[in-house]
Amino acid sequence: MSERIDDLLDAWFERSFRRPSGGRAAKRTLAHTKVTPAKHTSAPRKGMQMGRLRLTSTVRKAPEVMVKISGGGKSMPQVAAHLSYISRNGQVELENENGEVVAGREALRDLRDEWQYGQYGIPEVGRYKQAFNIVLSMPPGTDRAAVKSAARDFATRQFGGNHPYVFAEHADEAHPHVHLCVKAMGDNGTRLNPRKADLQRWREEFALSLREQGVAANATRRVARGVVRKGIRQQVYQMERRGHATTAMAGQRRAVAEELRGKHLFPNPLKHVIDQSRKRVIASYGEAARLLAVSPAKEDQRLALEIVEFVRRMPPPLSTREAVVARKRDREHKQEQGTQQAREPNPRENAGKTEEKER
């Protein structure tokens, strides 16, 4: 019975939360031959039941991994500058695809020469990205050694044997993270060309590597967690943290001002799509909860109750402007309540004053 439920949960997750990815055309190599991209799947490792594992991690709010492409150089000077940055000019050790350590300025220069003049070298001036800068990160408090080991495993599985790469661990910030620099041109002559579906697959693979290191990690899409709004871009976040005005901040201030003047917010054209998406998510979780509730295993029944509670606590599907206005309303309502309570007479104080008059 348990194995059948696990199989059903696998099918349920793929059906409910896996983004359908269209077929990609065959890549043409430098030798003008076509190479059909392999269909990548996050296959279970070590006997994992992925549907149950993802469901449990999501419901229990395991930390979400972060995998992002932070940029990439189109020329050797740009690539060399990034290698210098992640290695702190040779002071931080780099590790390549062969497990070799690159330490010191002289070794860093050798690495640059190898990438520039080796097979499919990097030109001084180029039109296309010659390398991709990838950041693998976890929230503060995560074991740093486990993050580095998981990053090593992730890079080996995704790029080893074809794309040269180096990575470095940075320990100067609260959240453990690893910088990975991958050559775009592979040894077989094909170029690395990651899409949105590839980034999600990388997140899932990195999360799997972390779990194998004993770290609780998850890699679900926002819709599966009940999150509607997109995250703030790193450049915008850094500007707002330094106090600089941004377009997003101006839009939020304008929304609050319009609401205070009694104007109606401009309707979100995607509101209907967001509401329908939320309904589908709730229906999907209801299907999983019913599936687990009929199981004779107490653990499955507890998980069904956790799903119900998780759905109940989902944040409302509000846009960014709607959320700003809602927070403003809450603050004003609390201020009004505090003012009203301060104005209302205290029954105990009045009783004390009456007793003094009677005396």
Domain boundaries, the chain: 64-220, 234-343
Q: Looking at 8-12, 77-81, 137-141, 279-283, which range is the least confident one? A: 8-12
Residue 359: predicted pLDDT: 53
What is the chain's mean pLDDT, rounded? 80
Tell me how crowded residue 214 is: count the other CB atoms within 10 A of its CB: 8
Give burial (CB, 10 Å; 0-12/13-18/19+) of 267: exposed
Range 131-152 average pLDDT: 95
Q: How many helices (H) and strands (E) does the chain have?
A: 12, 8
Token pair, residue 121, equals 């070298």
In whole angstroms, what is the distance from residue 248 CA to residue 230 CA? 12
What is 64-220's CATH number, 3.40.50.720, 3.30.590.20, 3.30.930.30, 3.40.50.300? Answer: 3.30.930.30
Of the listed ranges 290-299, 302-311, 315-324, the one predicted with least confidence: 315-324
**What percentage of the chain has pLDDT greater than the value 90?**
42
Examine the pLDDT at 24 and tell me if it is beyond 90. Answer: no
Give the tens place of pLDDT for each residue, 172-205: 889 999 999 999 999 888 888 898 889 989 999 9
pLDDT band at 278 (very low <50, low <70, confident <90, very high): confident
pLDDT at 331: 77
Q: Are 240 and 320 in contact (CB under 8 A)?
A: no
Give the integer Cα–Cα distance in Å for 62 and 12. 20
CA distances from 39 to 26, 94, 137, 220, 242 (A): 12, 30, 26, 20, 43
pLDDT band per the 50, 70, 90 thresholds, residue 36: very low
247-257 as b/e: b if 16+ CB within 10 A: ebeeebeebbe
> pLDDT-based confidence at 39, cuts 50/70/90?
very low
Predicted pLDDT at 324: 67
Q: Which of 14-18, 38-42, 227-231 has the lowest mean pLDDT?
A: 38-42
How far is 82 from 88, CA to CA, in rounded Å?
9
The per-residue pLDDT for range 206-258, each reduced to its tens digit, is 999 999 999 999 998 888 888 876 655 555 555 555 665 556 556 656 655 65
pTM (predicted TM-score): 0.75
> Please, which pLDDT band fits residue 28 given cuts at 50, 70 and 90?
low
Instruction: Check residue 160 and give its pLDDT.
Output: 87
